[in-house]
Structure 1
């Protein structure tokens, strides 16, 4: 399939999806969009995207479809539901799920797609709202290599570090490794900031001093400054991060693997979610120590 002037579909216009869609629009592709809350699409519609009323309509109109939604249950409904992509899709279509979802679900969708002559890639992304806006997301892709190579020019409009990882489900397994690394790292960043504060240091100076050395990380460089401004708006929702950690722990259990760092991170984030922070960004983990501190004072 040549990608020239192919109709593109995009389902899910949340924190990241809206920016990702914009890159495809700017490249001149005819774009059909669907999301559960239509007003999230209004800016894109003004910029030239076309609204449709269901995944079924996108399946009928588009040759390549991207999806990035909240939970594996949403993915299942969009792909396999009565008005979903696979039951209503055209032979030769390519579907790319960029939701962080379950590796076993990715394999199921791949197999169901094959039965209908539809190619499906699992291609979860990392980089948050900043990476999405700037078109420099990291993408981890599982599925057929020749299909990956076909859609690579589209992926390159949205990301810079794009890796083919292997068979269906491999992209999701790679994203789980990514989330495992982030989870413990975020604990470290928050503990470093609260330690700096307690010892009387200027937290901003500390971030500047340590962010180019061995402590360097995406979270320290991009999220620690947000914490210091008390900006807890979501580049990535806590509720979605808890979902990811649950998937990773389930997969680890199947492999007989214990992940104490991830288990602790999930516990701390769940405590925050119980206190009303589920729609905050992952950097709001810092509030756990602030709350602990205030309860002891």
Structure 2
């Protein structure tokens, strides 16, 4: 089942580092796009390009039949979806809800159940790829929810990413994103230690990166974030504070399943130390600063 593009009004909430690019792709694809974010100035470029500004979540929810959220924390997701002035209380029956925030599997399941009771459809669809993936519309999108809703929304998601997989029922997308963050967390430790080792040994880090990124050590983070480390570019493609939030969710979920995660615990400890030094609004590659202090 597909809905004609002309009959779709997308409401997009959250115009941040990634959300702005994502909303822009939908606008360029010809969708009728309504937007809302807490700081209107962040949406100026999109409004200039034709997006329709809405003054509140309530106003947006009443006029869109597909609503996408890309916000910060699980408490924000819960408030925006389940609050009295939120999405589910004000959206129309038949509306498709797509939360692309990295949040908790439990909350995704709760939202899906309440949405179903209101005759709405809900997908949890967190992403990976950072600011680069968002700008290039090459995000990996991990989806949880009913297959029918996924098939309806897939053409929209295809404007944002290239690796889009329905992982299972509600919450499965968020669980998959936790797997992603767990893998990245310890990988970032290795990347920082590798760059620090190269510099301490008197090597040219760029030449080292040229060699090791093409071999068994290769990863997205090594190819995309290590060059930023070498250039001392610590601007956020993904905030340290949001990564700490994600690691906390993963540790809580692992604990509830009786799992020990020593690698993840170490990574979170290091990122907590970094945040305590005032770096919470930097990009995740800023973890290198902990080694930079020693070299």
TM-score by length of 1: 0.98
Count of residue correspondences:
293
Which residue of 76, 79, 86 maps to 1:77?
A: 79
Alignment of 1:11-90 (within 5 A): 11-90=13-92
Task: Find the aligned partners of 2:62 and 2:27 in 1 and give their Cα distance.
Answer: 19
> 1:39-91 CA deviation, whole Å, 9 max, x = no partner?
00001000000110111111100010100100000001110112100011110
SS in 2 for 1:235: coil
Which residue is 1:10 aligned to?
12
SS in 1 for 2:67: strand
> 1:93-137 CA deviation, whole Å, 9 max, x = no partner?
000000000000000000010110010100000000000000000
1:181 corresponds to 2:183? yes
Task: Find the aligned partners of 1:223 and 1:32 in 2 and give their Cα distance.
Answer: 33
Task: Find the aligned partners of 1:176 and 1:89 in 2 and give their Cα distance.
Answer: 29
Task: Find the aligned partners of 1:3 and 1:274 in 2 and give their Cα distance.
Answer: 49
Alignment of 1:195-234 (within 5 A): 195-234=197-236
Task: Find the aligned partners of 2:4 and 2:256 in 1 and give their Cα distance.
Answer: 39
SS in 2 for 1:157: coil
Which residue is 2:193 aligned to?
191
Which residue is 1:238 aligned to?
240
Query: Could you list the runs of 5+ residues in structure 2 that have no partner in the other structure?
Result: none
Query: Could you list the runs of 5+ residues in structure 1 that have no partner in the other structure?
Result: none
Task: Find the aligned partners of 1:84 and 1:189 in 2 and give their Cα distance.
Answer: 41
Which residue is 1:151 aligned to?
153
Alignment of 1:98-177 (within 5 A): 98-177=100-179
Measured after TM superposition, the shift of residue 283 of structure 1 is 0.3
Q: Which 4+ stretches in 1 moved above 6 angstroms?
A: none
CA contact under 8 A between 1:242 and 1:270: conserved in structure 2?
yes
Task: Find the aligned partners of 1:150 and 1:202 in 2 and give their Cα distance.
Answer: 50
TM-score by length of 2: 0.98
1:261 corresponds to 2:263? yes
CA contact under 8 A between 1:3 and 1:151: conserved in structure 2?
no
Measured after TM superposition, the shift of residue 292 of structure 1 is 3.5
SS in 2 for 1:66: strand
Task: Find the aligned partners of 1:219 and 1:198 in 2 and give their Cα distance.
Answer: 21
Task: Find the aligned partners of 1:258 and 1:193 in 2 and give their Cα distance.
Answer: 29
Task: Find the aligned partners of 2:82 and 2:258 in 1 and give their Cα distance.
Answer: 30
Task: Find the aligned partners of 1:291 and 1:67 in 2 and give their Cα distance.
Answer: 38
Task: Find the aligned partners of 2:99 and 2:172 in 1 and give their Cα distance.
Answer: 13
Measured after TM superposition, the shift of residue 3 of structure 1 is 3.7
